[in-house]
A = this chain, B = another copy of it.
């Protein structure tokens, strides 16, 4: 009998601008043995997220760069196959950070935790009930501080983070305007997610349409894309508007700055005159709000107040191409790679 394979996707080279499949390499390894205090898990779902583009650079950011010749890092949900860890036993479902491989080993440290299938589909631990959902929740509530009647704007509005930002904004009594790529996504955001409006950034005159959709200006702009959306938002920000800066996916592949003039003085002037608050964050800055997040978001998902859409692709080998597409907005909903069979019943959400 041949040894079971353990396919892995390695970072082979660092991209110059837009990543290509050639930056990745698929190899087969052996399934690791758990040492004392470790467990081994079989990957079921892998999360693809925009921040992974940053990992591919050889530059310290808010996360360690991925290492050349090693598997791409990233969150995954799996099932424990062997355990020498006192808290994990065979069959347990776990969230872990062993990255892009079919089998991973973990000592339970870091973001590792058990996943209870009773809380929802396993993959939700990578989305609305996990890092992206918590990113939306903590960024909007701590830094955006939306008040009833205010206007919240968020781009990538059908995505894992944007969709939750908007729906939590609605729960908080705000007017919520989304921005997304394409008519189909926009219809979903407005009709299914209940945003007050959703604008297609691929259509002409985003600034004019955004102004019309925000007759009282913008009080909270949850920044996760940058680029032309930011340019359209800036003149509409109200006095004392808050801009949580969560991501800048529109510029992640850029290899140089755009041509001038240099608008930094203009941005600073706007910050001064309108008393704007721009604040960068990553989700783990608010790690101590995890329990509160799980209680709130779990309830909202159960009650249908927060809807959630996944875009699932089968096969670890497809992860590179899907990440490349994600950075171009080709996904429709939270991007998930199904690496192995999910033994739980089909999701109820």
Contacts and interface: CB of A to CB of B under 8 A. Distances in A.
Interface of A: 61-62, 223, 226-227, 230, 245-248, 251, 254, 256-282, 285
B226 A268 contact: yes
Contacts of A282: 275
A235 B175 CA distance: 37
Contact of A258 (B265, B269, B277, B281): B265
Contacts of A261: 256-260, 262
Nearest to A254: B265
Contacts of A285: 275
B279 A61 contact: no
A272 B257 contact: no
A279 B280 contact: no
B279 A275 contact: yes
Contacts of A259: 260-262
Nearest to A282: B275
Contacts of A246: 272
A243 to B, nearest CB: 9
Q: Top 7 nearest A-B pairs by Cβ distance? A: A260-B260, A257-B261, A271-B280, A275-B280, A272-B280, A278-B278, A277-B279
A258 B275 CA distance: 23
Nearest to A259: B260
B248 A265 contact: yes
A59 to B, nearest CB: 9
Contacts of A258: 260-262, 265
A255 to B, nearest CB: 12
Contacts of A61: 273
A248 B276 contact: no
Contacts of A266: 257
Contacts of A254: 265
A277 B278 contact: yes
B272 A245 contact: yes
Contacts of A273: 61-62, 280
Contacts of A270: 280
A143 to B, nearest CB: 9
Nearest to A223: B268
A279 B271 CA distance: 7
A223 B276 CA distance: 14
A42 to B, nearest CB: 34
A251 B279 contact: no
Nearest to A266: B257
Contacts of A272: 62, 245-248, 280
Contact of A278 (B230, B271, B274, B281): B271
